Each structure stands twice: as C-alpha cells, then as structure tokens.
Structure 1
C-alpha cells in the first residue's frame, strides 16, 4: 500500500464539503483510507495517527489531501479530489464581468442585507473570531465548527446575550430554522412543536418522530454539547426556550440534553415552568421526579419526548410509551433466538449517533446489562482498547477516536460497517445493535453500503441484528426504502432507538436463560 499527499496552499473549504470529498475518494476500489482536511495541527496529528502521513508540511490555511491504497488508484483519487476542489463555475454578470468572490461576512451581508443568521464552518482556531464578527454585525450564529475552547464559547455566548442573539454551537451539527434544515438534519413537516437540543442526533430523533406521528416542527435549535455545563450556564438553551415561548407558531416546546449541571438544569426548569405553554423535557438519564413540575412534563427517552409533545399538542392523555415488547414482539424475538448458540450472550452496539449510543447504554443498564464503551455513561466502563470489544460493548463510531483522518460515519459509513462485520463474526455476540441516520449531509445509500458487508456472513450462524432508522419519508434516502432493504437482509427494525435497545436487552436475557437451562 502507498500513501500519497497533496497540499494546496491558502485554499479553504468548509468541513462538510471536505467530508463529502473524503467519502467520494474513500469509496474508490483500491483505496484503503482517504482524508481531505485543513492543515491544522490537530488534523495533521490525526493524519499521522491514521497512517496517512507523518511529516506533512502544511499550515492551518492549507488544504491537505491524503490517501492510502494502490499506487495508481491513489493518483486517481488525488486527481478527483483536486478537480472537486478547484473546478468552480464562473459567476459572471450580464456583461460578462466576473463577480468578486465573497470572502467575508461583511461582503455576504452587503449582498443579502436582510440575512439574520451566519452559519460558521471554519477551523476551530478561527471560528470564535468569525462568530464575534457576525454577532457584532447583528447576526445570529450557528457554529458547525468544533475545537473551540470553553473560554471562547463562554465569551461568544455572553456577547450574544448582550446583543439579544443566539449562538447555536460550537459543534452544533443540526438545526431547522424556518423549515430549512441546516447541517445534519431531516426533511420534516412544518408545525407547532419547537425543539431546543444540546444533542444533534437527539434533535434528529425527536423531530423525525414528531413528523412520523403526523405533527410538525416550528423551529429546531441546536445549542452545542457544552451549553448546559456549569461553565456556560445554558445561555443558548435559555435564549432558545424564551424565543419559542414568544413564538405564536410554537404551541408545545421540547428540551433535550444529556444530564446538565444541576444548577443550570434548575435555571432552565424554572423558566420552562413559566412558559405559558406546555414543555416536555428529556434530560437523558435524569430522575423524572427532579424534572417534573407544573407545566413541565418529564420524558425518559428521546422518542418518548416526541410522543408526549404530540399528545400535548393534540390535547390527548399523557402516556409516555415505554417501548416494552408486545406479546407478539416477544414471541418473534424468542423465535429468532432459537438458532443462536447458547454461548452467544453479548450485546454489541455500533452507533453513528453519539446520543443514540448514550441512550442505548442507559436502557441496557436499566435492564441489568452494564457495558463498556468509548463514551460510557455513569456506571459503565471505559473501553480499554476501542478497537476490541468484550462482553457487552456499545461504541460511538462518531467519536474523535474513530474519525481521525476519516469522515464522520453518517457521511461515510465504511469504518462503521467494518466494525459491524467484526462484531457479527465474533462468536460471543448474541445481537448487534446499530443505527442508520438519514437526511441532508448523510450517506446517499447507507443501507446498500451496509448490505454489501452483510453478504460476507453466514446468516444462519450469525447473531441477530436490530436496527433503528432515524429519518423521514421526505429525506433524500427515503426511510421506507432503507427499512425495506434492511428487513430483506434479515435485520429486525425497531420504531425508535429506545425500542431497539430494549429488544437487544431481551435477546441477551433470552440467551442467558437458555444457557442456564442447558447447565
């Protein structure tokens, strides 16, 4: 295998474009790894860890293409990437005069003076400065960029509060503003439920399920994962909550987060209590009794938050679905387990969505199964070697450890699919639990790419596969098409992530009981 690099000096491209180009050249036959990144010190270190170059001489303003594979295919990959990066259509006026490129927020605002939102997707070293520029120009901000320090985030959000603006992010991957999906987001109905989420895939899960239940979204605001920490103080969630409280088109509000600081949680819940419209809160893993109060309803799962919101919107009785198996579901799982050897007892979860991994760990834990993970919840173990599972293991493949030098698995699922195949071939595995996330920015054919891997296993000897497909019928990938393809390959499809984790726990329990009977 050869490793080849090409550097473009002072050429910037946003991270989404770079990940898409990386995914395209990674899919070439004969390419083992590929990455297209800006030459920041962090990215260069990640390339080195991934074996894509130990001595790449690039600066943070330079763009780097790095490929590993067969020599002639590497050359082809570099040519394809260069063409994607450098071939831009001429933008000429009526008289054939080329319009100057827009190279600043100020220039963009001159061209579109009514704009009120700036989406920032530059390397983290520069993101804070661009956010401050946008705020000082009177714009709201969505920061797709990550690697922004807590100190910078706090300063930016304090400035936003002073300017009466919202900052979504840093590391905000999902939002739906006035019906327009931003980042990794889905095509959902417009409606009267507003969502504020400190979790990208959590926000996707809730908005997609609301759509599937026949309701719609007024606004969906991401805050970034650090917003509810004590250092930041929930500035963006408080702003978003107040904005939805003041919005006549929003009749029900949903708040989503992993467990926040207790001080910040109380501040948010006090404001929610005074909202004047019903608020559903899902602080994943939090005791519902600490959340519930007048006007505030606690949800225990992401999908449950959507169920409660739609019930409140339609003024129906509030009964959160617990996703326990129906008698027919239990019978189907028992029958599916009959072909499994008693030695197969382990739950193996392979997730593209970090919040899905987090929620699945909580549900498995509630069913008596502690697990190891690279992103463990309280009470679970940190996986000693992220490349090697043992006993019950649930992995977030979107974590930085797995995306060094590679696109996120929602864009390019190659590495995630390889891990799935490894878990399927492990004789200890009883069930492989996974997600498939659809929408803008995600892989165009996620099921097809996975099914190519599944042809390499013996279905009669393999463990069970349980999946949740997060998406809608209006998404470019069309949810029903992905579900049908997976079912035809023998995958058991759950309605939501919580149900999938419940079913995986039941499979593990059936296998334990089977071994006890034999013993």
Structure 2
C-alpha cells in the first residue's frame, strides 16, 4: 500500500468537477482512497486527516491529486486524472478555440453583457472576495462554496441588499432558475409554485414532490444554510420572498428552513403575511397547529409543504400531514407482522444512512415523535451526538454528506461508495432492525446510484438468516438523468420497501421499530 500525489501549478477546477474526478478514481481497482482538491491550507489539512500524510506541498492555486492503494493502481489513477484535467478544449472546424479563457467576471460580462448571475465555486477563503466583485458588477450570485464566515456572509448579503440583488449561499448546492437546474437540482416541469429554501435537499424534496403531484416550479431559490442565523438576518430569504411576490408566473410561494433564530422567523412570517399571495412555510422541527398569520399556511414536513402548495394552487382542501404514514402502513401492515416474526430479539434499532443533510435532520425529528431518540453526527434537538461517527450505537441516524465524512472524499450524492459501505456495516449488525436510507437523483448526482447497492442488499439477504428491513426514499423525477421510476423499480425488485417521501419513509421505519416492543 502506497500513497502518491501530484500537484499541478495554477490549474483551477470547480469543486463539483473535482468531486466527480475523485469519484472516478475511487472506482479504479486497487485504489483504497483518492482525493482531488485545490491546494488550500484547509484542503491540505483535510487530506492529512483523511490519511494522505502531511508532506503534500502545494499553493492555493495548485490542483492536487492524492491516491492511496496498490502502486500500479496509484500510477494509473494519477495518469487518468492528469488526462482528464489537461485535455485540450473543444475547437471549431478551423482548429481555433471558440473564445479566450474567461479569467474574471468583468471579462465574462464583456463577452456576455446580458448575463446577470455569477456562480462561485472556489475555496471558501476566496469565495467572499469573488462574491463582492460579482455584486459590484451588478450580478446576482450563487455561492456553491462553503467555509465562509458568518461575518463575511453578512457583509456580502448587505451589499446585495443595497443593490437589490440576490445572493444564494454560501454553501448553496441547489437552485432552479428559469427552468435551468443549478448544482444538485432535479428536472422538474415549469409551473406556478416558487420555492425559497435554506436547505439543498429540502429544496429538492419540495420541487420533486410538486412535480410528482402534477404541478410545476416557477423558480427555486437556495439561500444557504446559515441565512436564517441571527447574525445574518434572513436577508436572502426575504429577498427571494419579495422576488417571487413580484413574479407574475408565481402564484404560490413555499419557504423552507431548518429551525431559524426566533426573531428571524418572526420577521419572515411578518413579511410573508404582507404578500398578496399564499405562502406555505415549513421550519423543520417547529410545530404550528393553527395558522396564526393571514395567508400563511404551515406544513409539517418537506413533502407536506409541496402537497399544501399544490392544493392551494388547485383550490382544493388543504391536506392533513400524514403523521403515521397511513397510505404506506395500510399496504405494509401484513409485511410488518411478517417482519416482527422474522426479526430476532436483538434487532431493535433504526439505522439511518443519509446523503441529504436535511433528510437526516427530518428523520431524527420524526423518530423522536415515536419516542425513539437517536444518535447522530448532526443531532437535532432532543437527540444525541454520536460517540464515534464511524460506528452506530442504539438508534443511529447519520448524515454522510457532513464534513465528518467528506474530508478528502467526494460527496455521497456524487460517489455513493461510502454510503454503501455504511449500509452494509449497519445491516450486518445483529442489533439492526431497519436500515433507512435515501437515494438522491438529479444533475451532479451519481449516474448509477445503485451499481453497488443492489449487490450489497442481495448479499445481506443471502448471508443473514434474519436480515433487517430496508426502507428507502428516492428523491427525484422520472425526467432526471437517472430516472426515478427505474431506480424505484430496481429497489423494489431487491426487496426494499419504498415510500413516496422522506417523511413517509421515516414514519414507516419508526412505526415498525416501535411495534417490536
């Protein structure tokens, strides 16, 4: 087993491209771990933590490839990455490049004067400066970059506020602008429902559910996960709310966030009540039994927010949230009785394995409603911090997209290998009753999310006398590159119980475990 690395001077690639290259290298036989990142101090530190050593030298503008595994495989991986990174650009019929490289926003605007959105995906320590440059040029901003301080985020958004511009991010992974998916977004039809979300997978869940229910999305705006922090003030959500209020194509507005600061929540609800359009609000973990704000409707889950919005748009009765997964349970009751007889006396725990951070958070909240308090690397209120993120204890629900797991590795939406390993590990634990997981589709996500997972599920069913129950939710649409319908069919053929939403899957898992005694 060897470690090899190579640094390319002054070669920049955005983080999504680098994660995709990392994912391809990790699939080479003989490679134990591969990482492709820009050579910032923070990235080099993460690579050291991931076991690549401390002798890698690079400058922030250098691109670094590091691999660990068999020597021949490491050589092959570095050669493969070098080929991918140094391929010549496309040329026209005369052998000439289409245009000179765009090295600044100003140069980009010279060539594309109608552009009004800048997408920033550089290391966090440089992202704030680039965002300020874009705003001063009159561009709205989507910041895929993370690791931006709250002070910098506030400064960026205050400048945007002065210029009547929108900042999506930092750490904004998903948006749909004028029908164009950005980041980890799904292919959904155009329509009359607009969404503003301080949550990437929350936005994906809402937009996909709207599509599945036959309606469409006008705009889907991400704000970044810290926008509703007390120090930031919800500037982007308030701007997005007003933008959708002014948009003639938008008839219903949906707002989604993890629990905001109390004062910020009050500010957003006050602004929503002044909008001359119905607004559906879902703050995860908050409970609103009666609407207390005129024209504002409260939803109880990510999927429920979409269901309420669709009902309002169609002048239908507001649906009640499914708190006990009536639809799934009605169909699965006989299977549940079968599971109770097949599971052993030691199998009593839920093991949730999530690529989506908000899905992990929502699943913890729902499990708590059944008295099943869980351990997690990202615990919600009432749940506990996991002692060791690499192993489960009692009820455990983990977010594999968190920094605990992605340091030096591609996100599990891009490369589900780590997710698959954790599912196998938890499924083989004699204390596991239910393995609960998500499969997130769309642009940027793995093109073949089930390539290894189906074999793992088959292995568990083949080798274990009492395999756990597998329950999954597929977030996506039939128009996504991976096709939700095909993914669901393959999982069902493998014996996985499927739910229509993440909340429904979590309720089903919690219900089964709560019946085990």
TM-score in same-fold range (> 0.5): yes
1:19 touches 1:36 (CA, 8 Å); kept in 2? yes
- Structure 2 residue aligned with 1:484: 489
1:269 touches 1:291 (CA, 8 Å); kept in 2? no
2:244 is the counterpart of 1:244: yes
- Structure 1 residue aligned with 2:428: 425
2:470 is the counterpart of 1:465: yes
Match of 2:509 among 498, 504, 512: 504
Once residues 95 and 396 of structure 1 are traced to their aligned partners in structure 2, the CA distance between those partners, rounded to angstroms, is: 47
- Structure 2 residue aligned with 1:516: none
1:334 touches 1:507 (CA, 8 Å); kept in 2? no
Alpha-carbon deviation of 1:320? 2.6
Once residues 65 and 215 of structure 2 are traced to their aligned partners in structure 1, the CA distance between those partners, rounded to angstroms, is: 44
Q: 1:269 to 1:36 in 2, by over 3 A?
A: same
Report the aligned-residue RMSD.
Answer: 1.4
Alpha-carbon deviation of 1:10? 1.1
Alpha-carbon deviation of 1:66? 0.6
- Structure 2 residue aligned with 1:441: 444
- Structure 1 residue aligned with 2:419: 416
Give the secondary-structure state (helix, strand or coil) at the position aligned to 2:268: helix
Give the secondary-structure state (helix, strand or coil) at the position aligned to 1:176: strand
2:369 is the counterpart of 1:366: yes
Alpha-carbon deviation of 1:103? 0.7
Once residues 318 and 386 of structure 1 are traced to their aligned partners in structure 2, the CA distance between those partners, rounded to angstroms, is: 40
- Structure 2 residue aligned with 1:399: 402
Alpha-carbon deviation of 1:88? 2.6
- Structure 2 residue aligned with 1:134: 134
Once residues 482 and 344 of structure 2 are traced to their aligned partners in structure 1, the CA distance between those partners, rounded to angstroms, is: 36
Deviation readout 1:284-340 (Å, 9 max, x if unpaired)? 001214864210010010000000000000000012331523333323322233211
Deviation readout 1:349-380 (Å, 9 max, x if unpaired)? 00000000000000000111000000001111
1:153 touches 1:232 (CA, 8 Å); kept in 2? yes
Match of 2:353 among 344, 350, 353: 350
Structure 1 residues 85-124: aligned runs within 5 Å: 85-91=85-91, 96=96, 99-124=99-124
1:369 touches 1:505 (CA, 8 Å); kept in 2? yes
Q: 1:79 to 1:511 in 2, by over 3 A?
A: same
1:347 touches 1:393 (CA, 8 Å); kept in 2? yes
2:11 touches 2:62 (CA, 8 Å); kept in 1? yes
Q: 1:97 to 1:503 in 2, by over 3 A?
A: closer
1:92 touches 1:99 (CA, 8 Å); kept in 2? no
Q: 1:253 to 1:10 in 2, by over 3 A?
A: same
Give the secondary-structure state (helix, strand or coil) at the position aligned to 2:509: helix
Q: 1:337 to 1:268 in 2, by over 3 A?
A: same
1:93 touches 1:99 (CA, 8 Å); kept in 2? no
- Structure 1 residue aligned with 2:37: 37
2:361 is the counterpart of 1:338: no
Alpha-carbon deviation of 1:449? 2.5
Give the secondary-structure state (helix, strand or coil) at the position aligned to 2:103: coil
- Structure 2 residue aligned with 1:79: 79
2:454 is the counterpart of 1:451: yes
Deviation readout 1:53-78 (Å, 9 max, x if unpaired)? 32111111111101111110110000
Q: 1:95 to 1:430 in 2, by over 3 A?
A: closer
Once residues 507 and 56 of structure 1 are traced to their aligned partners in structure 2, the CA distance between those partners, rounded to angstroms, is: 49
Once residues 328 and 310 of structure 1 are traced to their aligned partners in structure 2, the CA distance between those partners, rounded to angstroms, is: 25
1:307 touches 1:320 (CA, 8 Å); kept in 2? no
Which is worse superposed, 383-392 or 190-199? 383-392
Deviation readout 1:194-214 (Å, 9 max, x if unpaired)? 000000000000000000000
Once residues 96 and 409 of structure 1 are traced to their aligned partners in structure 2, the CA distance between those partners, rounded to angstroms, is: 38
State the TM-score, normalizing by the size of structure 1.
Answer: 0.96
Once residues 293 and 89 of structure 1 are traced to their aligned partners in structure 2, the CA distance between those partners, rounded to angstroms, is: 55
Give the secondary-structure state (helix, strand or coil) at the position aligned to 1:355: helix
Once residues 470 and 60 of structure 1 are traced to their aligned partners in structure 2, the CA distance between those partners, rounded to angstroms, is: 36
1:334 touches 1:510 (CA, 8 Å); kept in 2? no
Deviation readout 1:170-226 (Å, 9 max, x if unpaired)? 000000000000000000010000000000000000000000000000000000000
- Structure 1 residue aligned with 2:224: 224
Once residues 24 and 97 of structure 1 are traced to their aligned partners in structure 2, the CA distance between those partners, rounded to angstroms, is: 28
Once residues 498 and 166 of structure 1 are traced to their aligned partners in structure 2, the CA distance between those partners, rounded to angstroms, is: 30
Q: 1:96 to 1:34 in 2, by over 3 A?
A: closer
Once residues 88 and 472 of structure 1 are traced to their aligned partners in structure 2, the CA distance between those partners, rounded to angstroms, is: 35
